[in-house]
């Protein structure tokens, strides 16, 4: 017997949380423009009905970018119809959504290359180039 066979289903309800969240997004949006502040809203822990999730999706609309990262399971980044407002959904290896954020910024934080990785990359590249030059000199002599 699967979960879908259990005859318990929720009647359509609204929690009333959608409207405040929309205003929170709008506020973060204006903060981004005024002060360049990167905003993030965690939707995962909020009681939201499926109907409200659908209404949020409809309100935000779809933008040009839809990316999937393979980082500890999948992460899907979707720009909304409003440039600068992103849906960030984290999934585990079984494609269960385990985190859902709205990010307000130029790009989602997880997309940016990490500073320590950049530094390590520079060090690695410098070492490789030095080794290649050493090898070339050895070949010439």
Binding site for other proteins (CB under 8 A): 3, 6-11, 13-16, 40-42, 44-45, 47, 49, 69, 71-73, 75, 90, 92-94, 96-99, 101, 109-110, 114, 116-117
Distance in Å, CB of 40 to other proteins, minimum: 3
Taking the least distance from each CB to other proteins, the nearer of 47 and 141 is 47
Distance in Å, CB of 46 to other proteins, minimum: 8
Taking the least distance from each CB to other proteins, the nearer of 11 and 139 is 11
Taking the least distance from each CB to other proteins, the nearer of 125 and 130 is 125
What torsion, rounded to 10 degrees, do the Cα atoms 9, 10, 12, 15 define?
-160
Tokens of 36: 């360049």
Taking the least distance from each CB to other proteins, the nearer of 72 and 130 is 72
Taking the least distance from each CB to other proteins, the nearer of 63 and 99 is 99
Distance in Å, CB of 90 to other proteins, minimum: 6
Q: Are 69 and 110 spatial neighbours (Cβ–Cβ below 8 Å)?
A: yes
DSSP the chain: --GGGS---PPP---S-HHHHHHHHHHHHHHHHHH---EEEE-TTS---HHHHHHHHHHH---S-EEEEESSSEEEEEE-SSTTEEEEEEE-TT--EEEEEEEESSS-GGGSPPHHHHHHHHHHHHHHHHHHHHHHHHHH-
Distance in Å, CB of 51 to other proteins, minimum: 11
Distance in Å, CB of 42 to other proteins, minimum: 5
């Amino acid at each position: 017997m699967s979960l879908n066979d259990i005859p318990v289903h929720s009647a359509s309800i609204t929690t009333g949380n959608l409207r405040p969240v929309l205003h929170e997004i709008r506020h973060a949006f204006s903060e981004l423009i005024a002060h360049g502040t990167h905003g993030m809203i965690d939707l995962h822990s909020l009681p939201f009905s499926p109907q409200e999730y659908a209404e949020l999706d409809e309100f935000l609309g779809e933008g040009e970018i839809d990316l999937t990262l393979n980082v500890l399971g999948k992460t899907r980044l979707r720009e909304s119809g409003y440039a600068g407002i992103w849906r960030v959904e984290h999934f585990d290896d079984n494609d269960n959504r385990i985190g859902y954020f709205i990010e307000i910024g130029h790009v989602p934080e997880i997309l940016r290359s990490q500073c320590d990785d950049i530094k390590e990359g520079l060090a690695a590249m410098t070492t490789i180039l030095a080794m290649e030059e050493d090898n070339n000199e050895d070949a010439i002599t």
